[in-house]
Structure 1
Amino acid sequence: MRFVVYGAGAIGGVIGAHLFRGGHDVTLIARGAHHDAIREHGLRLDTPDESVTLPIPVAARPAEVEFGDGDIVILAMKTQDTAPALAELSAVAPPGIVVVSAQNGVENERLALRLFPEVYGVCVVLPATFLEPGVVEASMAPVGGLLDVGRYPRGDDDTARALAAAFRESRFEAEARPDIMRYKYGKLLNNLSNAAQVIIGLGEQSREVVRLAREEGVECLRAAGIEAEHVEPVLAQTRPVQGRERGGGSSFQSLQRGTGTIETDYLNGEIVLLGRRYGVPTPVNELLRSVANRMAREGLPPGLMTAEEFLGRLDGRARR
């Protein structure tokens, strides 16, 4: 099978690079300067153990790819970009193509299922960085990360098992799981810290804000009857890459690159949505969502306020 990695930034670039090194047929879809750098020089993968440049074929858009029925499309863009990306894909790809969401949040699979019947989710635990065109960093080695996979909304089949096997052949730990969304909801609770990193900065200073955000998240999932499996963070397993310690996560990197958008509407905003549907107050996640969005729109760098300043803007319901 050929893997078409649609959105070859930090996560997509690292997954595509390891699949390529594992002997799989891979095509990347990347944008702008990143696409140009890969096309001209190859994709450089930096890990704690080595730096390699890989001659992976790259396209700028789905229309440049000649899709076949056996292709696997791995979505790796931010959720705010998923709907237009899927529209482009559906215009040129066979309707029965397999679409795999290797993305944060829980909305992407639902968006994909509107257009494609064969949809799979991946619970991604993979510390990666993309700040320079043509270069991605993976902060774990020799295991590149964890990529558990399953059919959406649930189920176990040959495709899920084949995907897990391909990931394992390519330096990832991976299991086929019939209840993959239970793991993705667990990862969602972890990702509620992304906006806190953006607003308050890295380190321990955001711990109380993150605790409050996750408490709201757990209450909302409980009210909605949604099961969430705890997903263990892997930050303790990361190592420096070429002497560089890994910085912040995907949202932090979005602000550093000045993309103008951030995926907080589909992380903290998912909890806000559930809270509104099921009558659970979510002031912490709402404030995280709104402030992080403003920072992205205005091009502000990470670290707008201290934890004390953030907590001071909350009403008493946030303090538990």
Structure 2
Amino acid sequence: MIPLCEARGMRYIIIGAGAVGGAVGGRLAGAGREVVLVARGAQYEALRTHGLRLVTPDGTHVHRLPAVDGPAALGTLREDDVLVLAVKTQDSVAALDAWGPAPVEGGGTAAERLPLVCAQNGVESQRIALRRFSRVYGVCVWLPATFVEPGVVSAAGAPLTGLLHLGRYPSGTDDTARRIAADLEESRFEAPVVADVTRWQYAKLLDNLANAVEAVSGVIDGDEGRALYRRVRAEGEAVLTAAGLPYAGGDEQRAVRGDKVRLRPPDGVARGGGSSWQSLSRGTGTIEADYLNGEICLLGRLHGVPTPLNDLLRRLANTFARERRAAGSLPVAELARLADEAVAFVQEPGAARP
């Protein structure tokens, strides 16, 4: 069992020390904050044996940090612990069920007493968390990071590593959010504390609708990929409008982000693709499409807005993950054809479903 540290500063327990979790944990540790990494399988073994190697534009940083595979290894949690949930949304329930009942010094459980920060794509994990945890914080994660291999994470953003809007969920701010933000801002992040964090998360969700396009076709920057994404995003915007859910507009986002997080892939490390592309490339067997494109499908069904493109991408991404098909193996022209058929199926009763 890992003994409690004598220092009583805020301790960050990074649940899911993959790309995002590893980048956040590594940068916090580099700024002198106390960090515990939580991982499973080969990642856990690599972190425990060799430490975390964080590769960034300013160099490679090796952090020998406590690594555990669950709450039992820590024993009783501290009153000043902050749980940072950085697993993919499809893994959230298992993680929350494991950490929620963990005892905290002075009495009570983690779910009752400790802050839980959801540093994930989409909006569903914080909903799931709020069923179990009384203090939930949402983060809008703008952080280009890649899981390179067990124990190695690349973060390609510069001069800042990422932009992390942070606030209470479902709304509001407090001193805990401001303390966390202050630690992040000393760790090469910008972390605005906002009372309307979901407004930023829904804006990011619209961007993340492209993840499935990239994952299955490997193309998002070409003309065909961009044209398809515009159609997919338009569906998402129509759904959010119908649901009455506000989101930060493009001009507002650009004004906040500026040139603070520019992509500068470190030498010798190819970034590859985004989080969904990485899931397929690693053959994990799961993907987060149900909580990105699927969030638009859910809201569309609740508010009477057809979402054939997002439903197609959700189904394709899940099929690719389940069957462990290669990332980017569907030609973008074929994906565009399937998209046209999906729209026709909705518009023309009796048309063959793609």
Return the match for 1:280 from 297, 302, 305: 305
Return the match for 2:240 from 213, 221, 226: 221
Do the aligned residues in 1 keep the contact of 2:238 with 2:305 (CA within 8 Å)?
A: yes
Return the match for 1:143 from 160, 169, 194: 160
Q: Which residue of 2 aligns with 1:166?
A: 183
Supply the distance in 1 between the matched residues of 2:88 and 2:260 (Cα, whole angstroms): 21
Tell me how far 1:162 sits from its aligned partner.
1.0
Letter in 2 for 1:208: A
Q: Which residue of 2 aligns with 1:69?
A: 79
* Superposition misfits of 4+ residues, deviation over 6 angstroms: 233-236
Judging changes above 3 Å, is the alpha-carbon distance between structure 1 residues 99 and 309 closer, same or farther for their aligned structure 2 residues?
same
Return the match for 2:129 from 107, 112, 118: 112
Return the match for 1:81 from 85, 91, 96: 91
CA deviation string 1:168-209 (max 9, x = no partner): 011101110000010001110010000000111133241112
Judging changes above 3 Å, is the alpha-carbon distance between structure 1 residues 135 and 244 closer, same or farther for their aligned structure 2 residues?
closer
Supply the distance in 1 between the matched residues of 2:50 and 2:34 (Cα, whole angstroms): 19
Is the counterpart of residue 128 in structure 1 residue 145 in structure 2? yes
Supply the distance in 2 between the matched residues of 1:44 and 1:156 (Cα, whole angstroms): 33
Is the counterpart of residue 246 in structure 1 residue 271 in structure 2? yes
3-state secondary structure, aligned to 1:305: coil
CA deviation string 1:137-164 (max 9, x = no partner): 0001341111110000001211111111
TM-score (norm 1): 0.96
Tell me how far 1:18 sits from its aligned partner.
0.4
TM-score (norm 2): 0.87
Q: Which residue of 1 aligns with 2:5?
A: none
Do the aligned residues in 2 keep the contact of 1:144 with 1:172 (CA within 8 Å)?
A: yes
Supply the distance in 2 between the matched residues of 1:49 and 1:64 (Cα, whole angstroms): 33
Alignment root-mean-square deviation, CA: 1.8
CA deviation string 1:267-311 (max 9, x = no partner): 000000011111101011000000110000011011232232122
Supply the distance in 1 between the matched residues of 2:164 and 2:339 (Cα, whole angstroms): 36
Return the match for 1:192 from 197, 209, 221: 209
CA deviation string 1:111-150 (max 9, x = no partner): 1111111100011100000030000000013411111100
Do the aligned residues in 1 keep the contact of 2:84 with 2:117 (CA within 8 Å)?
A: yes
Supply the distance in 1 between the matched residues of 2:193 and 2:260 (Cα, whole angstroms): 23
Tell me how far 1:316 sits from its aligned partner.
6.6
Tell me how far 1:65 sits from its aligned partner.
2.0
Tell me how far 1:235 sits from its aligned partner.
11
Do the aligned residues in 1 keep the contact of 2:165 with 2:192 (CA within 8 Å)?
A: yes
User: Which stretch shows the higher mean deviation, 224-233 or 165-174?
Assistant: 224-233
Do the aligned residues in 2 keep the contact of 1:3 with 1:27 (CA within 8 Å)?
A: yes
Do the aligned residues in 2 keep the contact of 1:126 with 1:146 (CA within 8 Å)?
A: yes
Q: Which residue of 1 aligns with 2:227?
A: 208
5+ long unaligned stretches in structure 2? 1-9, 104-108, 348-354
Letter in 1 for 2:18: G
CA deviation string 1:243-278 (max 9, x = no partner): 334210001001111000000000000000011111
Do the aligned residues in 2 keep the contact of 1:239 with 1:245 (CA within 8 Å)?
A: no
Letter in 1 for 2:272: G
Letter in 2 for 1:223: A
Within 5 Å, give how 1:12-23 maps onto structure 2: 12-23=21-32
Supply the distance in 2 between the matched residues of 1:5 and 1:138 (Cα, whole angstroms): 16
Do the aligned residues in 2 keep the contact of 1:261 with 1:296 (CA within 8 Å)?
A: yes
Is the counterpart of residue 290 in structure 1 residue 315 in structure 2? yes
Q: Which residue of 1 aligns with 2:106?
A: none
Supply the distance in 2 between the matched residues of 1:263 and 1:210 (Cα, whole angstroms): 17
5+ long unaligned stretches in structure 1? none
